[in-house]
Structure 1
Amino acid sequence: MAEFSNAKRGCSVHCLSSESELQDLCREEQVCCAVLGVTRKNLSDFEVEYLCDYKRVQEEELYLVKWKYYPDTDCTWEPRHHLKCYNLLKQFHRDLERELQRRVKATGGKRVVARCPRRLDQSLSHYLVLKAKQRKRLRLWEQQLNVKRSHPGLILVENEVDLEGPPRDFVYINEYKVGEGVAVSQVSGGCKCRDCFSNDGGCCPGAFQHKMAYNEEGQVKIKAGFPIYECNSWCRCGPSCPNRIVQKGIQYKLCIFRTSNGRGWGVRTLEKIRKNSFVMEYVGEIITSEEAERRGQIYDRQGATYLFDLDYVEDVYTVDAARYGNISHFVNHSCKPNLQVYNVFIDNLDERLPRIAFFATRTIRTGEELTFDYNMQVDPVDAESTKMDSNFGLAGLPSSPKKRVRVECKCGVNSCRKYLF
C-alpha cells in the first residue's frame, strides 16, 4: 500500500507490484525494509526460479541458477550449499533421472543409469529447462483454475509424461454457457417443506411424480435413466437440505494429469469416492442440434469431440465443452467406466435442458482415474420409458456409420470395444 502525502490521512491505493517483487527490488537496490521483511541478514537472498544445469567439479556440486525476475543472461553457477530451494533441487534430480531412464529405454539399453553424471550434455540440460518452464506454466494454470472454480473441490495439474503445457483455447466455467438460439427459462416457484427428506411426496420430486433421488447420506438411490429433481432457489429449505447435492458442486480434490498411453489429459481423484456419490457435472456451451451437427463434423475430422446430447425428451440441444467447460472436459472414455450419467433439474425445469451429472458407479479409490462411457446406454426397461431416450451418446457425428471416422479406444479394460465410435 502507498499513502498520498497530500491526501487525507489514512487514504491509500493498492500497489501494482506484488510483495515478492518489492522485496526483490529492495535487494537489487540494497535497501532494507522492515515492513517487507528485508533485513541486513537476508538482504543478499534471491529467489531461485528454476535450475538450468548441473556439473561436479572435483567433489563440489554446482547448479546453473535462473533467478526470479532476472533475465537468462544473469544465470549463475552456484554451489549446492548456497541454495535453500530444497523442493526445486529434488524436482530437478527427479526430472533428470526420468529423462536418463527414458533415453536408455529408447535405445534399448538395460543398464542402470548413473543417478547424476558429472556433467550434462547440452540436449539434456535443454530438456530440463523446458521441463522447468512447462511446470511453471502448469502451476500458473492450476492457480487460474482454482481462482475460477466456484466449487469446494481443489484442482491440481500434473504432467510427468511429456512437455505438453496448458490447453491454449479453453475457458473454465462453472455452469452452462447459453449459446445463440437457446432460450432458458428459470423456475418461478419451489417447495414449502420444512423437512424435504421426510416430505418425499410433497417436495420437488413429488411435484413431478418422482421419489426423492438421494438417501440420508446424499447418495443417489434411483436407477440411471430416471431424472433427479432437486430443490431450487425458490424453495424454503436452506442450503443444508438433503435434496441439494449436484448444486453444491464438486466436493473432491481432483487432478488433471497427462496420461502415459496417448489418451491426452485425464482426471484422477485424490480422495476416496463412495459408490453412488455425486462427482461432477458435464458443463459447457449449450447449442442447438443444427450447430452441433456443424461443429461435430469439424471435431470428427480432428479425432476428438466434446459434444453431449441433451436428449431427455427430444434431441433439440447439445452441450459443447470443447472451449467452455469445467474439469469434466478432461475426463476420458472407458468401456468399463466408474461414472454414470444422470439428468438433473434444479432452477430450470425445461425437460429439453437437463443438467448432466456424473455419479460413482462403485467405490473409487484414491489416485484412480475417473472415466465415463462416451456411448453410454441405459436399459429402456429400467428407464422412464415414456420420456427417456436410451442413447446417451455424444452428438455431432454423421448419422450414417459408414461416414464416421473410427476412433480407436485405448481404455485398456478386458471388455474394451476397441473403437469409441
Structure 2
Amino acid sequence: MILCVLLRRFYCQIPPTMIISLSETQVCRVACIATEGQLEVICREQGVKCDELGINKHNLCDYEVEYLCDYKKKVITDGKRQTIQELYLVKWKGYPESSNTWEPRRNLKCIDLLNQFWEDLNAEMQRQKKRAAPRRLDPATVSQLIQRAKLRQTLKQWETHLNGLGTHKGHIYVRNQVDLEGPPKNFTYINDYKVGDGIMLNEVSVGCECTDCLGNPVEGCCAGASQHKFAYNELGQVRIRPGLPIYECNKRCHCGIDCPNRVVQRGIQYSLCIFKTDNGRGWGVKTMERIRKNTFVMEYVGEIITTEEADCRGHIYDKEGATYLFDLDYVDDEYTVDAAHYGNISHFVNHSCDPNLQVYNVFIDNLDERLPRIAFFATRGIKAGEELTFDYKMKIDPVDAESTKMDSNFSLTGLPGSPKKRMRVECKCEVPTCRKYLF
C-alpha cells in the first residue's frame, strides 16, 4: 500500500519523481509534490488501495461525478419517431480526464452539479450575448466551463482550509461568480498577530477578581483598573464612543469565557463570505446573516512591524498598487500592522466612504498602549448578504464621554489609525457621499 499521507505535501531535495514499490514486479512513479487529487488518480489507475485517501476494496472501482465538462443534444431516430437526448461529458472523481465519458441525463443523479453546470452555462451565454445554449458547445465555452468547475473546487478546498484554522463560531465561505481568479498567492491566514523581529508583547500580570463583571464589578473590573468605563452592555454590544479604548478581561481574571467582558477574544460569531466583486474592487466580504448594531464582527490582524519597516514596505506596495498597512497609533506611531501576506478575513474587507464597520482599540492580554488589538464593530444593523466595509481614511474628534444611548448613531469617520497609503487612489465605493478618492 502506498503511504499517500506522506506524499500530500512532500518537499525534498531529490529528483522530481519518487519510485514507490507496489509489488515485487510493479513500480509507480509519484511526484514529490502531489495533491490528494493527483494521488487518488494514480491509485485508481494502478488499482492500489489507500486508507489515507479513503480508497478501499469496496470503492476502488466506484464512479462519482466530480464535475460536468460539456453538453450536447443528440437526435435519436426510432422509425418515424425522433427524440432529442441530452448528453453530458462527465469528469469522474479520482480518475484522469482521459476517462471522461458522455452520459445521458437519466443516468445522472447529481442534481446540485447539474444546477451548477447550467448556472455557469447560462452565465457564459449571457456574457457571449446568446439567448440560449446551442445543441453543441464550442471549444471556448467548454474550456470556460471546465476552468470554472476547477476554480470552484480550488475555492472549496481553500474554504475548508480557512475553517480548519478558525477557532471561532462563524463559518467562512468563499465565492467567485465573476472571473477565474483563485485564492490569493503568498498569503497565510492567521487568527492572531504575527509579531515581527525585535518586538515584544508583554503579557498582563494581573486580572480582576469579579464574580459578576457586569453586574457587580470589583473596582470597575479591568476597564476601571485602567481608569476607563465598562465597554459592553448585557448583550455584548459596545456602548462607548469610537476613540475610547476597550479593556476586556484577560487570562489572569477569575471569570470564564462566558463573561460579558470577553467579546473580541471569542472571535467571529457570524458566518461571513469572501466574494469577488463585480465592479473592479477585487475581493470583498459580506455577511451571510443579520448583524445587530454595535456588535463585534471581526479583528484586523496581520504582522506587527515597526513604523520604519512599514515605510520601506509601503514604497514596495505602492508600486504594486495596493497596501494593507494599518498604523497602531493609539498613543504613539511606533508600530504598524501589515496584513499583506499574513492576515485573517479582514484582509479582504473593502473601503467605503459610508462604512458599516467602526474601528476600536482593544486591550486584553497585552496592556501596552502602543500595541492595541484592532476590532471592527457594526455601526448599524447589517442585513444578510450585505457587504462589510470600513473607512480606510479614518478621522475622529476627541471624545471624553461614554455614550449613554445604545441607539445613538456612532460617527462613521473612525479612529486616528488608518491603513497607510501614498498613492492617490480612486474610490469605487459608489455611495452618495463618496469622496472620490481613498487617499
Q: Is the 8 A contact 1:23 1:38 kept in 2?
A: no
| The one of 254, 257, 261 aligned to 1:243 | 261
Q: 1:24 deviation in Å?
A: 11
Instruction: Report matched runs for 1:231-310 at 5 Å.
Output: 231-310=249-328
How many residue pairs get matched? 387
Unaligned runs of 5+ in 1: 3-13, 105-111, 398-403
Quickly say closer, same or farther: Cα 1:266–1:158, change in 2 above 3 A: same
Q: 1:346 deviation in Å?
A: 0.2
Cα deviations by residue, 1:220-263 (Å, 9 ceiling, x for unpaired): 00000000000000000111111000000000000000000000
- The aligned counterpart of 1:199 is 216
Q: Is the 8 A contact 2:264 2:296 kept in 1?
A: yes
Cα distance in 1 for partners of 2:433, 2:41 equals 58
Q: 1:416 deviation in Å?
A: 0.3
SS across alignment from 1:128: helix
Q: 1:176 deviation in Å?
A: 0.4
Q: Is the 8 A contact 1:406 1:420 kept in 2?
A: yes
Cα distance in 2 for partners of 1:94, 1:346 equals 47
| The one of 76, 84, 93 aligned to 2:118 | 93
| The one of 159, 165, 169 aligned to 1:152 | 169
SS across alignment from 2:128: helix
- The aligned counterpart of 2:416 is 391
Q: 1:88 deviation in Å?
A: 1.0
Cα distance in 2 for partners of 1:311, 1:24 equals 54
Cα distance in 2 for partners of 1:344, 1:383 equals 17
Cα distance in 2 for partners of 1:288, 1:103 equals 50
Residue 314, structure 1, aligned to residue 339, structure 2: no
Q: Is the 8 A contact 2:303 2:343 kept in 1?
A: yes
SS across alignment from 2:140: helix
Quickly say closer, same or farther: Cα 1:293–1:233, change in 2 above 3 A: same
Quickly say closer, same or farther: Cα 1:113–1:226, change in 2 above 3 A: same
Q: 1:25 deviation in Å?
A: 6.6
TM-score normalized by structure 2?
0.82
Residue 84, structure 1, aligned to residue 101, structure 2: no
Q: Is the 8 A contact 2:244 2:399 kept in 1?
A: no
Instruction: Report matched runs for 1:331-350 at 5 Å.
Output: 331-350=349-368
Which residue identity does 1:62 align to in structure 2? Answer: L
- The aligned counterpart of 1:167 is 184
Which residue identity does 1:279 align to in structure 2? Answer: V
- The aligned counterpart of 1:354 is 372
Cα distance in 2 for partners of 1:245, 1:181 equals 30
Q: 1:73 deviation in Å?
A: 1.4
- The aligned counterpart of 2:204 is 187
Identity of aligned residues (%): 64
RMSD: 2.8
TM-score normalized by structure 1?
0.86
Q: 1:85 deviation in Å?
A: 1.6
Cα distance in 2 for partners of 1:26, 1:229 equals 57
Cα deviations by residue, 1:362-421 (Å, 9 ceiling, x for unpaired): 00000000000000111124589xxxx9522213x4xxxxxx421110001000000111
Q: Which moved more, 1:217-226 or 1:79-88?
A: 79-88
Q: Is the 8 A contact 1:228 1:343 kept in 2?
A: yes
Which residue identity does 2:122 align to in structure 1? Answer: E
Cα distance in 1 for partners of 2:151, 2:41 equals 26
Cα distance in 1 for partners of 2:374, 2:6 equals 43
Give every structure 1 segment of 4 or more consecutive aligned residues whose post-TM-superposition deviation is greater than 4 Å: 14-18, 21-31, 35-39, 42-45, 381-384
Q: 1:119 deviation in Å?
A: 0.6
Q: 1:30 deviation in Å?
A: 12
Cα distance in 2 for partners of 1:44, 1:234 equals 57
Q: 1:202 deviation in Å?
A: 3.0
Residue 375, structure 1, aligned to residue 393, structure 2: yes
Residue 65, structure 1, aligned to residue 90, structure 2: yes
Q: Is the 8 A contact 1:380 1:390 kept in 2?
A: no
SS across alignment from 1:145: helix
Cα deviations by residue, 1:125-174 (Å, 9 ceiling, x for unpaired): 01001111111100010010011111111000000000111111111100
Quickly say closer, same or farther: Cα 1:23–1:259, change in 2 above 3 A: closer
Cα distance in 1 for partners of 2:350, 2:357 equals 11
SS across alignment from 1:87: helix
Q: Is the 8 A contact 1:378 1:391 kept in 2?
A: yes
Cα deviations by residue, 1:259-296 (Å, 9 ceiling, x for unpaired): 00000000000010000000000000000000000111
Q: 1:29 deviation in Å?
A: 5.6
Q: 1:198 deviation in Å?
A: 2.1
Q: Is the 8 A contact 2:330 2:416 kept in 1?
A: no
Cα distance in 2 for partners of 1:68, 1:22 equals 9
SS across alignment from 1:152: coil
Q: Which moved more, 1:60-69 or 1:240-249?
A: 60-69
Cα distance in 2 for partners of 1:360, 1:378 equals 17
- The aligned counterpart of 1:9 is none
Cα distance in 1 for partners of 2:415, 2:7 equals 55
- The aligned counterpart of 2:240 is 222
Cα deviations by residue, 1:47-103 (Å, 9 ceiling, x for unpaired): 111111110101111111111111111111111111222111110111000011011
Cα distance in 2 for partners of 1:56, 1:28 equals 34
SS across alignment from 1:129: helix
- The aligned counterpart of 2:433 is 415
Quickly say closer, same or farther: Cα 1:30–1:205, change in 2 above 3 A: closer
Residue 74, structure 1, aligned to residue 107, structure 2: no
